[in-house]
Amino acid sequence: MTASNLYKFLCFCSTEAVSSGFKTALLTGAIAAVPTLVGCRVFPWAKHNLNHTAQALIISAASIAGFFVTADKIVLANARGNTIGKYGKSE
């Protein structure tokens, strides 16, 4: 495998991981936003103790976690496939 082919392959794998992570971040952000915002309007404790910054941090933490979990799974799956492919052919 030449250096240019390896570079193209790595760019494809990283792009795949980033796009999947971004899609998951959007989904988890939307899923986390609804109960957070509703809870801050309905429950008295949340209404008093969770300001706008706290609500944004809760929502963004869920989005960030979703992004990194998904991107990590994609990267590990690609690495596992590359390792199995290399060592499966030599045996």
Least confident of 4-8, 10-14, 22-26, 84-88: 84-88
Domain boundaries, the chain: 31-79
Model confidence pLDDT, tens digit, residues 27-46: 999 999 999 999 999 999 99
Residue 14 has pLDDT above 90, yes or no: no
The upper half-sphere exposure of residue 79, i.e. CA atoms within 13 Å in the direction of its Cβ, equals 8
Contacts of residue 9, defined as CB under 8 A and 6 or more positions apart, other chains included, come to: 1
4-28 average pLDDT score: 81
Kindly indicate the confidence band of residue 53, based on its pLDDT and cuts at 50, 70 and 90. very high
Closest CA to 33 of 18, 55, 64, 5: 55
2-12 average pLDDT score: 69
